[in-house]
């Protein structure tokens, strides 16, 4: 099996955003997308009073991260769950609230780097793409069973693929000959379906289709739609939710959730906000922060990151 590497994106900035919420005895953070534990390791090193509950749907990631984080002892707990299960995770851990929640969305370095997982398009591998390889349909199942209209929709919506209809039609024709099983055959189809001028711009021609399949297989947007409000509800006063997203649809969901959470409930034409009606949360970042040119050069996966953070400034009125 090929071995994974791990370069956390915007690591110092993420820890700086989390640190004020974790600078007290008994502080707890949920790393909702643990991966190989790079962000969690940095938090545990720099926020010495904090402990972290690391959540991941990928059993392989949990095992590798647990080994990496073993030196921190009981300051780290690993939990096998999907990140929209935050309320259940807190209940199992005997917690009513936490001080921080971190999301680093999308596919992890480990999943991209381990060929056998089928996330990468540069090497031939089984078309799997499940973040939890123990359950659910694979990318091959999607390609071999979805209708042409359904394939067109996910390629257009999740992959922002201009040639979605053409690709979907080619997939349906090809699978009638033999079902799709490996990435190499799909990549060949994409090269044949996307016109040559388009192939020369916008990166690898398979990038958008593979992204769309991954998001569909793992139901990523629906999970995120449930997870963000749950995370906001889970933080105590002074607590923060920090989110790194890499897709415009993900970032839009984050922005919408944070905008709703920081809105006042008083009429917009009222000249002042009465005491007790101030928003319970405030935006910590101005818009979405991005990686600088140096980091993108060092770590190309940082190119599309959008970083947002929110803080609870008062409790909910009873």
Is 39 annotated to bind a ligand? Reply is yes
- CATH 3.40.1710.10 correct for 11-110+220-312: no
Residues of the chain with CATH 3.40.50.150: 11-110+220-312
Q: What is the mean pLDDT of the chain?
A: 89
Q: What proportion of the chain, given as a percentage, has pLDDT over 90? A: 70
Residue 139 to residue 173: CA distance in whole angstroms: 17
Q: What proportion of the chain, given as a percentage, has pLDDT over 70? A: 87
Is 93 annotated to bind a ligand? Reply is no
- CATH 1.10.150.170 correct for 135-217: yes
DSSP per-residue letters across 193-218:
HS-HHHHTSSS-TTHHHHHHHHHHHT
For residues 133-146, one letter each, b for 16 or more C-beta atoms within 10 angstroms of the residue's C-beta and e for the rest, the string is beeeebbbbbbbeb
**Average pLDDT of span 41-46:** 97
Give residue-wise pLDDT tens across range 200-219: 776 778 888 998 999 999 99
**pTM score of the predicted model:** 0.87
What confidence score (pLDDT) does residue 202 get? 66
**Average pLDDT of span 58-81:** 95
Is 83 annotated to bind a ligand? Reply is yes
Residue 142 to residue 215: CA distance in whole angstroms: 11
Residues of the chain with CATH 1.10.150.170: 135-217
Give residue-wise pLDDT tens across range 252-282: 999 999 999 998 776 666 566 666 667 899 9
Is 111 annotated to bind a ligand? Reply is yes
What confidence score (pLDDT) does residue 277 get? 65
Is 56 annotated to bind a ligand? Reply is yes
């Amino acid at each position: 099996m090929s071995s994974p590497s791990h370069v956390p994106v915007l690591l110092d900035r993420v820890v700086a955003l989390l640190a004020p919420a974790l600078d007290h005895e008994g502080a707890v953070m949920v790393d909702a997308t643990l991966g190989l534990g790079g962000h969690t390791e940095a938090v545990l090193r720099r926020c010495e009073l904090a402990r972290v509950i690391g959540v991941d749907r990928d059993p392989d990631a949990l095992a590798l991260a647990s080994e990496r984080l073993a030196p921190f002892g009981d300051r780290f707990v690993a939990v096998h769950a999907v990140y929209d299960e935050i309320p259940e995770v807190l209940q199992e851990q005997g917690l009513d609230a936490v001080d921080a929640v971190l999301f680093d969305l999308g596919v992890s370095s480990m999943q991209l780097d381990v060929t056998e997982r089928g996330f990468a398009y540069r090497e031939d591998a089984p078309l799997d793409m499940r973040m939890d390889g123990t359950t659910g349909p694979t990318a091959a199942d999607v390609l071999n069973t979805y209708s042409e209209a359904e394939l067109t929709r996910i390629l257009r919506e999740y992959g922002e693929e201009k040639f979605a209809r053409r690709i979907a039609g080619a997939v349906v024709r090809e699978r009638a000959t033999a079902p799709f099983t490996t990435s190499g055959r799909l990549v060949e189809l994409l090269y044949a379906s996307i016109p040559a001028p388009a192939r020369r711009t916008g990166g690898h021609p398979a990038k958008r289709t593979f992204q769309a399949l991954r998001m569909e297989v793992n139901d990523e947007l629906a999970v995120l739609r449930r997870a963000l409000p749950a995370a906001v509800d889970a933080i105590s006063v002074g607590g923060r939710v920090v989110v790194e997203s890499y897709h415009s649809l993900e970032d839009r969901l984050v922005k919408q959730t944070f905008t709703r959470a920081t809105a006042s409930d008083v009429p917009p034409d009222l000249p002042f906000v009465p005491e007790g009606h101030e928003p319970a949360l405030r935006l910590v970042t101005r818009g979405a922060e991005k990686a600088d040119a140096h980091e993108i050069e060092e770590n190309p996966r940082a190119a599309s990151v959008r970083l947002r953070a929110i803080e609870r400034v008062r409790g909910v009125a009873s």
